[in-house]
Amino acid sequence: MGTDQRQADPNRTLELLWDVQAPPTRGPKPALSLRQVVDTGIAIADAEGVAAVSMRRVADELGYTTMSLYRYVPSKTDLLDLMVEHAAEVPDLPPELTGWRDKLRWWANDTAEIYRRRRWALDVPLNTPPMGPNQVKRMEQGLSALDETGLSGGEMLGILVVLSGYVRGHAQLATALADVEQRTGTPQEAWDQAYGRMLTTFVNADDHPTLARIVAEDGFEGYAEPDDEWLGDDFTFGLELVLDGIDRYVERRRPAMSPE
Amino acid sequence: MGTDQRQADPNRTLELLWDVQAPPTRGPKPALSLRQVVDTGIAIADAEGVAAVSMRRVADELGYTTMSLYRYVPSKTDLLDLMVEHAAEVPDLPPELTGWRDKLRWWANDTAEIYRRRRWALDVPLNTPPMGPNQVKRMEQGLSALDETGLSGGEMLGILVVLSGYVRGHAQLATALADVEQRTGTPQEAWDQAYGRMLTTFVNADDHPTLARIVAEDGFEGYAEPDDEWLGDDFTFGLELVLDGIDRYVERRRPAMSPE
DNA sequence: TAGAACTGTGTACAACATAAACCAAGCGCT
DNA sequence: AGCGCTTGGTTTATGTTGTACACAGTTCTA
């Protein structure tokens, strides 16, 4: 395959992401628009996953030739990046939220919600720093949530990296468990059975004492088969954990300050 | 491409991961071994990234034809999964560690260390539940670390999912920032400049008040260009955050118990 | 000793990203 | 008014990919 991407042009990427480009005056009118191309890609990914998105496929869907897309997008890699950027729309922060913790919880949940609706976004490799409008807007939102804590810019950024790292990582793990069927073409139950067989066959008390005990106690129910709501209680549990950690950090940094 | 993976066989996958299979008596002796194939794949990925791993490439490296590999591995997807499993070796937990927090910190750092040494492992899509020996050993280790807390099996599993989710997510974000050059073929500085230009051009005080303020305060130094040590202070910071959260949870669950 | 099981090979195919050459379209200058 | 430059979409072509399939050689078993 030729996916190597020998060279990338950050400026061009930036132009595309922020949709700034002197609209050309000379040639014939474009029949398509970047927007259409990206949206078509998103539609395909929504329906069949990111693996189904090929240049050919997108072009066919639009009724044009494969190569015509390259007038709008430098490479498939860029197309995927643009798809992620456009798919990650950021709603405004609900004004009724007051404390940083509520805001940050909403922020994390909303980010997770993106991954829930567009699971394919997790399959797009993260090649460049996030610098599209939506990504930046999301960052701004997170920062504004933390603003009242009085932390430094660096500290706030660190916290956001931690939090979005958690959201992304957890979403990925959850997806791996929940989407086996779609990803492997083999029914869920077959995997569950295999997992169970693995636990009973290879996990013995000598090598895996703790695990063996939990398995014996049936502590694995509900983990081999994840809950239907995908990012459910588990995510919330971890989120509160992280928020607690942030809380403790914030408290420690300004030991005796009035909340206002 | 034919990467579709129409059907997967969990039992076969399990056999391969755990290296159990009745060694055949009939035919000619195999010239290769699964181990060799996987190790060759790992070597290539170590040197040039996972994108450089192709069946052809692995076979060439071994001096055999492409198709010969399919006698050892059902598909490329399985090969990648096996590579991850083998690359994620789990050292024994240092015996001098006593409390759950120290153990868990070591556990998270060791997991991160894997991702540091084998960044390509983050690029392998997570298609199936982790059920290889090393993955299971790592789980056992995490559980044993938490054993003393007296939490239930479900709670401990939840905590581990949270923690490994954090590690994975953070590592991915950090890699995206640190490896731009290798991934895009464009020098680091070009991206940094583009990022800076993005911040100054598109981030105005109206749409991004908090961000704009931080940029004005130079609070972005050290973030556009990540520290050389990759998962550095930032990771540690977030890790302690998560550990704090866990700590608070543990404390809350057994309010007045002696630490021993 | 015949056949079954198993090995590695050679050939073949469809799908992929994308480079290069091409022609038609349309504005901007002289 | 018209020439030319810029731009848009198509055509053609190239190299790479994963893997299905048929085959010929090897080794044990019945």
Ordered by start, the domain boundaries in chain A are: 10-87, 100-253
Would you place residue A224 in the very low, low, confident or very high pLDDT band (cuts 50, 70, 90)?
very low
Q: How confident is the model at residue A133 (pLDDT cuts 50, 70, 90)?
A: very high
> What pLDDT sits at residue B1?
40
Neighbours of A163 (CB within 10 A): 28
Residues of chain B with pLDDT under 70: 1-6, 219, 221-232, 255-260
CB-CB under 8 Å, A249 with B245:
no
Predicted confidence (pLDDT) at residue A200 exceeds the cutoff of 70: yes
CB contact under 8 A, B241 and A3: no
CATH tag, A10-87: 1.10.10.60
pLDDT for residue A1:
40
Most confident of A148-157, A169-178, B76-85: B76-85
pLDDT confidence of A62, banded at 50, 70, 90? very high
Contact B137 A237 (CB under 8 A): no
Query: Does residue A255 or residue B91 have the better pLDDT?
Result: B91
Least Cα distance to B139 among A184, A178, A199 occurs for A199
Is the per-residue pLDDT at A230 higher than 70? no
**Strand D proximal to A54 Cβ, under 7 A:** no
Nucleotide nearest to B4 (CA to C1'): D18
Which residues in chain A are contacts of B219 at CB distance < 8 A? 152-154, 157
Task: Say what the pLDDT of residue B89 is.
Answer: 96
User: How far A236 CA lies from chain B's nearest CA (Å)?
Assistant: 10
Give the side-chain half-sphere CA count within 13 A for A195. Answer: 22
* Of A55, A70, A58, A79, residue with least CA distance to A1: A55
Using C1' positions and the CA of A3, the closest nucleotide is C17
pLDDT at A38 exceeding the cut of 80: yes
* Partner-chain contact A241 B238, CB within 8 Å: no
In chain A, residues 64 through 83 whose Cβ sits under 7 angstroms from any atom of nucleic acid strand D: 64-68, 70-72
Nearest to A15 by CA among A71, A73, A66: A73
Query: In the structure, what pLDDT confidence band is assigned to residue A260 with cuts at 50, 70 and 90?
Result: very low
* The predicted structure's pLDDT at residue B3: 43
Q: Rounded to the nearest 10 degrees, what angle do helices B55-62 and B34-48 cross at?
A: 110
Interface contact flag, A5 B185, Cβ < 8 Å? yes
* A208 token code pair: 């895996």
- Cβ-Cβ contacts under 8 Å, A51 against chain B: 3-4
| Distance D7 C1' – A33 CA (angstroms) | 14
- Considering only the beta carbons, identify the residue of B147, B175, B246 that sits closest to A210: B147
Amino acid letter for position B167: V
Nearest CA in chain A to B250: A241
Q: Do B184 and A248 touch (CB under 8 A)?
A: no
A193 touches strand D (CB under 7 A): no
State which amino acid sits at residue B253: R
Nearest CB partner across the interface for A131, out of B13, B131, B195: B195
Q: Which residue does chain B place closest to A139, by CA atoms?
A: B211
> Which window residues (40-59, chain B) lie with Cβ within 7 Å of strand D?
53-57
Distant-in-sequence, close-in-space partners of B63: CB < 8 Å, separation ≥ 6: none
Mean pLDDT for the stretch of residues A123-144: 95
Q: Work out the pLDDT band at A23, boundaries 50, 70, 90.
A: confident
What token pair was written down for A226?
């994840």
Q: State the nucleotide closest to A63 in CA–C1' terms.
A: D9
Torsion angles phi and psi, residue A34, rounded to 5: -55, -45
| Percent above pLDDT 90 for chain A | 72
Question: What is the structure's pLDDT at B19?
Answer: 95
Q: Which residue of B has its CA nearest to A241?
A: B245
3-class state of residue A54 by DSSP = coil
* Pick from A159, A171, A172: nearest CA to A244: A159
Assess whether B100 (CB) lies less than 7 A from strand C: no
pLDDT > 70 in chain A, percent: 90
Report chain B residues whose CB lies below 8 A from the CB of A134: none
Which of A230, A244, A246, A251 to mutate to test binding with chain B, by most B CBs within 10 Å of its CB? A244
**Same CATH fold assignment for domains A10-87 and A100-253:** no
CATH class in words for A100-253? mainly alpha
Distance from CA of B257 to the nearest CA of A (A): 21
Question: B225 vs chain A: nearest CA distance in angstroms?
Answer: 10
Go through B196-234 and write b for each residue having 16 or more CB atoms within 10 A of its CB, e for each that does not: eebbeebbeeeebebbbebbeeebbeebbbbeeebbeeb
Residue B253: predicted pLDDT: 85
Q: 């290889």: which residue's tokens?
A: B132
- The answer to whether the C-beta of A29 is closer than 7 A to strand C is yes
